[in-house]
Amino acid sequence: MDRAQKEKVVEDLGQIFSDSGVVVVAHYQGLSVAEMSDLRAKMREAGASVRVAKNRLAKIALEGKDCAGIDQYLNGQTALAFSSDPVAAPKVAAEFAKKNEKLVILGGAMGATILDADGVKALATLPSLDELRGKLVGLLQAPAAKIARVLAAPGTQVARVLQARVEKEGEAA
């Protein structure tokens, strides 16, 4: 790799570290090409990505970034999983690590917050952004539906009373 290629890699990694909502660092030693391809495919499905880069270049790219504290995890064969959704990359990485012990989660960063392996796994247990949006919409709609039912109930009861009154007068006449 010549100097221009290295500069391009550092620039790309710097962009990843700046724009991603979360970055997960993991050892992937022993993963076969097929297993790595499977991991990449699962990440893509979730809206995340995986990148393998030289640790030295990744450390250079981290300089001045909020997540610069993850440089402590950049030793050995490391892979970087990242996504704009703070839950997508950790969730896929944690699920894959459960099924394949060759992928070892070391830690990560969510913005300026540096996470250890347990922090990444805890983040993976949270619901995704879309799930949270769905729950929020449900919570917002529930009170409106209840108010509509409460307001409609007295009107329905008054209508029943009037209908009964009309029927009763009809029988008397």
Lowest-confidence range among 70-84, 92-106, 108-122, 134-148?
134-148
| CA distances in angstroms from 44 to 39, 50, 105, 149, 160, listed in the order given | 9, 9, 18, 44, 58
The residue that leads in pLDDT, 55 or 142, is 55
- The pLDDT assigned to 150 comes to 66
* 89 contact partners, CB below 8 Å, separation of at least 6: 20, 22, 23, 24, 43, 46, 48, 49, 81, 82, 83, 108
- The pLDDT assigned to 50 comes to 94
Lowest-confidence range among 103-107, 140-144, 167-171?
140-144
Q: What is the mean pLDDT of residues 80-91?
A: 90
- The pLDDT assigned to 131 comes to 79
The residue that leads in pLDDT, 56 or 149, is 56
- What is d(CA 86, CA 120) in angstroms, rounded to the nearest whole number? 10
* 9 contact partners, CB below 8 Å, separation of at least 6: 1, 53, 54, 57, 61
